[in-house]
Chain A
Amino acid sequence: MRAAIIGATKGMGRQLARRMAERGDMIAILGRSEASLQAATTDLQIRGAAEVHPIVFDLADADGHRKGLRAIEGALGHIDAIIITAGGFDTQEGLESDLERTARILDLNYTKTVLFCEHARKSLMDQQGGGKLVVFTSVAGDKGRKTVGLYGSSKAGLSHYLDSLDARYRDAGLVTINVKPGFIRTSMTAGLPEPPFAGEPDQVAVDVLKAMEKQLPTVYTPSIWALVMLVIKHLPKFVMRKVGF
C-alpha cells in the first residue's frame, strides 16, 4: 500500500506507520519537526518499509495545505490512503483557563483538518478516481459530557463532516473512515487519570488497518468503546449532569 500519514512521529500515528512499514508499505510521513521526521524515517526503514518520504508540514498552516498534497503526490505517485492523526488536546480545565489555546485547538482539530480533507478529497478523486481518507476523531465527540466539552466539540464537528463526506462520495470512489479512539496511552494523555478500558497505540494500529481493509466507515478502538459509547449516548441529560465523566 502507498499511504501518507500526518502525525506519524508520535502516538497512534507512529504505531500505525510502524505496522505499515513492517508489512513493506511505501509511506510518506508529515509533521512539523524535521528532526523527529528524520528519526522516524530511520525507524520505519529498519522495520521494513519499501520507501519512506519525510515531508515537513504544519496542518495548522492552511496556506501550506496544497503544497503538502503536491509533495505527497510527488513522493508516492499513486496514493492509496491519506491518514490524519494530527490533532491537539488539553483538559477541559486547561482550555477553560486559556482561550487562546482553546482557539488554536478548535481551529486545528476542526477548521484546518476539514480544509485539508477538502484538498485531499479533490486530489484523490480528480487525479486517480478515489482512495481512502482515514481521519482520527474521538469518542469525546459522541456526546456532550462534563469532562471533555471543548475538545470534544471540535471532534464532534469533524465527525459530522466525515460522516457526510462518506455519505456523499463513497459511491464515487472516496472511502472515508472515521476513527474514534477511546482513552489511549500516548504522550497526549500522559499524566491524566486513566479510565477503565484504556488502550495501547498498537491495538489501535491493528484495528485501523483491519477497518481500512474492510472499508468500514466508522471504527471504535479498542472495540469495547463502541459498547461503552452506545450506553453513554443513551443516557438522558439529567443523568449526564450527575455523572463524573
Chain B
Amino acid sequence: MTRFLDPLKSDMPLHGWGGLGVHGREALGENLAEITEGKPLTRGLGRSYGDAGLPAPGDEVIAGSRMANRFLDWNPDTGVLRAEAGVSLNELRRVFLPKGWFTPVSPGTSFVTLGGMVASDVHGKGHHSAGTFGEHLTSLTMRLANGEIVTCGPDDKPDLFWATTGGMGLTGHILDVSFKMRAVPSPWIYAERKQCPNLDSLLEHLEEAAEAYPMTVGWIDCLSTGRNLGRGILMQGRWAELHETPAKYPADGGGPSVPFTFPNWALNDVTLKGFNWAYYHKEFKGFRSGVESTQTWWYPLDGIGNWSRIYGKRGFTQHQAVFPKAVGRKVIRQYVELIAMLGGSSFLCVIKDCRAEAPGTLSFPMEGISIALDFPMRADTQAIVDRLNEFVIEHGGRIYLAKDALTRREHFEAMEGERLTKFMEIRRKYDPDLTIRSRLSARLMDPEVER
C-alpha cells in the first residue's frame, strides 16, 4: 500500500511532504473538537517529510486541523496568544507582524500549523537563543484518547504537556495552543552572509556567530570533497531596528511556483553540482550584509510554490541528526565525509548549532551540532539512511522524527533508550490501549501486531 505517489494525483491519498503516500482520508472542518472525536490522529498542513502525519496501517480516517484556525484570545500586554491548532504560521505572520509581533520560534517554512509546531517541538535559526517552540507555550487544550477534553501546561499535568511537545501527535489531539509571542522592533531582519571555504571555517564561524547573533544557520555544499570538504555559507541575523529599515512594509511575496512535477532524471549529481556551485558563488564574493524581509530570511523556499516537485514522482526524504557537543569537530567532519561519500545527491544540507536539551520528553534538539540533508528516493536510499543512523548511534546522537520516513525500529530504540521508555509510559498513562497512533508510531514504537 505504501508507495511514493505523485503529489499532484487527483485521487488525493494522504501524503507527507516528501511524497510518501497512503490511502486514507482527512476529516476536515471548522470545529476541531467535533472532528477529532474517535479519530486515531490529527494532522496539520502535512509539512513533516515522512509518515508522522499518516494513519497507521489499518486506520483510514484521521482529523485534519487546517480549517480550525481562529484566534481565540490575544493580550497585547502580556503577548500571550491563544489560537486554534490549525492556525498557520503564514496567517499568524500576516496578521501579527504589522502589529509588531512574531512567533517566538519559526521553522524554515511558514506553511505549518501551530499544532504541528507543538507536536514536532520545532526549532529554528534562533535555537541557540530562543530554544524550541514548546518552551514558549503557556498551555494547551487537548482531546485525550478517552474523549475527554483537558488543558495542560508546564504546571498543569506537566507529564502530559512535555510528552506532547515533540510527541508527534501521539498523546492526543491538540485543539488549541497558548503561547507567548515575541515583540519585534520592525518587520525586517539585518542579515549577514559569509562564504566559508571549508568545514572548519564554517564551524568556527557558526560558534562565533552564536555569541553575537540571535539567529544563525549554515549551508554546506555536501558534494565538495578534499580541500573544499564542508565549504559553505554562514548566515547570521537579528531583527533590524526601525532606523535601519526601509520606510515601507515588506511586500508580501507570491513568488514563482513549480508548475509540474519534474521528470525523475532532472535531478542528478550533475545538475546538483551545478546548483551547489551556483549557490556557493552566487551574487556575492566572500561577504554580504543588509536588511531583508522576514520572508526572505525565514522562508526562502516558501517563495517557490510546490518546490518539492523538482524531485520528481518518486519523491524524496530528509535526514536530520544532532550530535552532542562533546563529540567535537572531528566527528562532525567524519559525518560530512560520510555524507559526501554516500553521494545521496543532497540539494540542501543545513547545519545548525543547538543550544541545550529541549524539555520535551522526546524533543529533538540537544546541545551540539545538527545536520540536515534531503535526497531523492532511490533504490539505495534505505541503505544510506541506515548507514547515517549507524554513525549517529555510534556517536550518541539522535534523529528528528518530523523529517524521518525510513529509520528502523532497532536504530530508533538504540538512539532514544530511556527517553523512549519514559515517553511510552506517559502515552500509556493517558491512552492505555494506544488508540492514538500514526504510521510513524507503528513503524518505530508501537507493539508490533498484525492489523
Contact = CB atoms under 8 A, between A and B. Distances in A.
A187 interface: yes
A42 B72 contact: yes
B29, B70, B99 pick with most chain A CB within 10 angstroms: B70
Contacts of A107: none
A212 to B, nearest CB: 19
Contact of B71 (A9, A47, A191, A194): A47
B100 to A, nearest CB: 13
Nearest to B67: A187
Contact of B28 (A14, A39, A187): A187
A47 B87 CA distance: 13
Interface string B80-118: 000000000000001100010000000000000000000
Given A47-B95, A193-B12, A39 B70 contact: yes
B10 A195 contact: yes
Contacts of B99: 48
A43 interface: yes
B198 to A, nearest CB: 44
Contact of A46 (B26, B28, B71, B94): B71
Interface string A174-211: 00000000000011001101111000000000000000
Contact of A22 (B25, B30, B94): B94
A26 interface: no
B29 A187 contact: yes
Interface string B147-181: 00000000000000000000000000000000000
A43 B29 CA distance: 17
Contacts of B73: 42, 46
A43 B11 contact: no
A40 interface: yes
Nearest to A36: B30
Interface string B1-34: 0000000001110000000000001111110000
A80 B89 CA distance: 32
B74 interface: yes
A78 interface: no
B67 A43 contact: no
A194 B67 contact: no
A9 B69 CA distance: 11
A77 to B, nearest CB: 27
A115 B28 CA distance: 32
A6 to B, nearest CB: 16
A190 B28 contact: yes
A36 B99 CA distance: 26
A49 B70 CA distance: 14
A9 B71 CA distance: 13
A53 interface: no
A10 interface: yes
Contacts of A9: 30
Nearest to A14: B30
B12 A194 contact: yes
A39 B28 CA distance: 18
- 6 interchain residue pairs of minimum CB distance: A190-B28, A43-B70, A46-B71, A46-B74, A187-B29, A43-B71
Interface of A: 9-10, 14, 22, 36, 39-40, 42-43, 46-48, 186-187, 190-191, 193-196
Given A43-B72, A193-B12, A195-B10, 8 more contacts: A14-B30, A46-B73, A47-B71, A187-B28, A187-B29, A187-B67, A190-B28, A190-B29
Interface of B: 10-12, 25-30, 67, 70-74, 94-95, 99
